[in-house]
């Protein structure tokens, strides 16, 4: 079940992500510096919160009328596949900061563990609050489980606190905001804009090579800095 206003918000989050990740690339390659608490730092976290939150809303709506684990797992397999591909590719190009538990790993994990309670919004909301406060640990081996404070440098890391908490809380909220699964805003959104929101996974997976190519073509980062 799709709601146009949510697809529009996903398109907005996608544009925010492209800007934020381009800035993150500039920071990673030393072209500019992003400091904790500045506007770019907040943009990255706002974008992530919007993406994860919208995923929680979409998850509730997808299970509102049909609650079959085999179909849920079939959809989740795509996330698992692309999460694995991103881990492998980032390890090949940046072994010191490769992705161990990024946003796709988080969403794949969330899609499985949320299934038993997606139709129990109050329980989902309480579980979400729990994950907002679950302690993270300094043990670097727990990065793979999303339970580490980070410890290791990673270009993309989404620990269970707070991100899984946001996902579950939005499942709970969606049952109140969209109890009938119908749009709240009667707006004729541009079809091409909605198309962006409907293809966020595909764009997310392939956007980074284009950003890197842009850095090279503009001369901001030399090729030998990316591929020694």
pLDDT digits (tens, 9 = 90+) for 100-151: 999 999 999 999 999 999 999 999 999 999 999 999 998 888 999 999 986 5
Taking the C-alpha atoms of residue 179 and residue 200, their distance in angstroms, rounded to an integer, is 25
* Whether the predicted pLDDT of 152 surpasses 70: no
- CA dist 36 and 26 (Å) reads 15
Query: Residue 157 CB: number of other CB atoms within 10 A?
Result: 22
Q: What is the pTM of this model?
A: 0.92
Q: What's the confidence (pLDDT) of residue 140?
A: 84
- Give the residue-averaged pLDDT of 57-85: 93
- Residue 120, both tokens: 């129990």
> How far is it, in rounded angstroms, from Cα 161 to Cα 200?
23
pLDDT for residue 201 is more than 80: yes
Six-digit token string for 201? 């996974």
Q: What mean pLDDT comes out for the span 79-104?
A: 91
């Amino acid at each position: 079940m799709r709601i146009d206003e949510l697809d529009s918000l996903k398109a907005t989050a996608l544009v925010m992500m492209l800007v934020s990740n381009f800035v993150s690339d500039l920071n990673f390659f030393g072209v500019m510096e992003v400091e904790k608490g500045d506007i770019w730092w907040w943009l990255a976290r706002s974008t992530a919160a919007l993406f994860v939150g919208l995923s929680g809303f979409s998850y509730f709506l997808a299970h509102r009328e049909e609650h079959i684990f085999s179909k849920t797992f079939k959809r989740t397999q795509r996330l698992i596949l692309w999460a694995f591909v991103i881990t492998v590719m980032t390890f090949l190009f940046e072994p010191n900061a490769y992705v161990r538990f990024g946003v796709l790993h988080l969403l794949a994990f969330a899609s499985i563990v949320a299934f038993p309670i997606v139709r129990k919004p109050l329980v989902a909301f309480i579980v979400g609050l729990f994950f907002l406060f679950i302690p993270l640990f300094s043990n670097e081996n727990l990065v793979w489980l999303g339970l580490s404070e980070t410890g290791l440098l990673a270009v993309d890391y989404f620990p269970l606190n707070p991100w899984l908490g946001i996902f579950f809380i939005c499942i709970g909220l969606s049952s109140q905001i969209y109890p009938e699964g119908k749009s709240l805003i009667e707006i004729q959104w541009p079809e091409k804009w909605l198309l962006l929101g409907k293809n966020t996974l595909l764009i997310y997976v392939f956007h980074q090579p284009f950003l890197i190519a842009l850095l090279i073509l503009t001369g901001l980062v030399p090729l030998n800095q990316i591929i020694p």
